[in-house]
Amino acid sequence: MVTKWEYSLDHEVLRLLHTAHQTGNGFYKLSGFIVMPFPQSHSNGRIVPIPDLTYQNIPRFWKRVTRIDPKNLPSKNHYIDPELISDTKKLLISANLPTPDFSSVQLAWAKYENQIIDAIYSLIPSKKNSISSITIWPTTMGTGASFNIYNQKSHDIYIWLREDKGIATIVEAILTSLTRNDVYENLAGIWQESEFLVDWLMAYSPLNEIIRKIDPDWNSTLTIKNTRTKQDGSLTEKSEQFLQKLGIPSADPVNVEHVVFSPREKEIMDLLVNSSPHPVSSDQIGDILFKTKPEEYSLFAISKTIQRLRDKLEQNGISGSFIQTKRGEGYLLVS
């Protein structure tokens, strides 16, 4: 397999929209990332740079980007309003951003790609020889990497790789792409659990012996560890001021009147809203789901119901991370 490297302004426009989506719906803030104006020193793994542009000049920009479905980003099979893409492209052209320099990591990846892919397949035998292609879109903004999710329909992996990141970040993206659907769909997991699984593979599996020799900065790819580091008050304050300047409305998880829930889902959401900031136990949710058939009580069914609620929030421009799992206690709506 030979990885393709493709840089274009069109890909940067999609990257900007993806970063704006994750910023506007509250995901970055809830997940421990700090959004700052581009350019930034990327030494802090939590920093997400985004260009300081006049987004308010695009009608309803922040509302429109929060409604983007990010599941097929990055890839060529996205579903985004062409007018929004066109207007954002004009805005990005006016910024005259630099072209990312990815020559060094491209050469290094070409040298070690086969060794790393073989090591990944040895860790996950069920996925052996399943990747049809890898395409990397170098970028100047956003998190260190973003990627589409491998599934039975698409075996092509696309990765946005920020120019200051290296081979370890590519490996982290491939591992997460391959395993995320399994964590979400088969194990009723959440984003933090998916990232923790990959963090462990990066740090403690045989892959680590390969990665640490190639990329001395491999430790910065451990997402959960880096997003849970001690809060930097001054950075957080600067980020809040920057977000206000951009005109981003505060994400409000309680304001879900426009989301269409089933009667039982609505009852559970009302319970979460009314209980916030206190957690709701699995038994309380079970009382709603299994009120007529208590003998069918299932923690797995409860987890799947919570995941459906998160998915519906995402589809309506609200980060699903607003519903958080509190181990040993249940589920908590962050407000």
Q: What is the pLDDT of residue 276?
A: 84
Q: What is the pLDDT of residue 251?
A: 57
Closest CA to 310 of 271, 269, 273: 269
* Distance of alpha carbon 332 from alpha carbon 271, whole angstroms: 10
* Distance of alpha carbon 213 from alpha carbon 317, whole angstroms: 41
Angle at which helices 299-315 and 282-289 cross, to 10°:
90
Burial (CB count <10 Å: 0-12, 13-18, 19+), residue 245: exposed
* Distance of alpha carbon 197 from alpha carbon 179, whole angstroms: 9
Q: What is the pLDDT of residue 20?
A: 95
Q: What is the pLDDT of residue 258?
A: 74
Residue identified by tokens 């990066």 is 202
pLDDT by 10s per residue, the chain, length 335: 789 999 999 999 999 999 999 998 888 988 889 999 988 665 667 899 999 999 999 999 998 998 898 888 999 888 899 999 999 999 999 988 899 999 999 999 999 999 999 999 999 999 999 999 999 999 999 999 999 998 777 789 999 999 999 999 999 999 999 999 999 888 878 898 999 999 999 999 999 999 999 999 999 899 998 888 766 677 888 888 999 999 887 656 666 777 888 989 999 988 988 888 888 999 999 999 998 888 888 888 898 899 888 888 877 778 787 888 887 888 988 76
- Domains in the chain (CATH in brackets) are 1-250 (no CATH), 263-333 (1.10.10.10)
* Distance of alpha carbon 169 from alpha carbon 202, whole angstroms: 10
The length of the chain is: 335
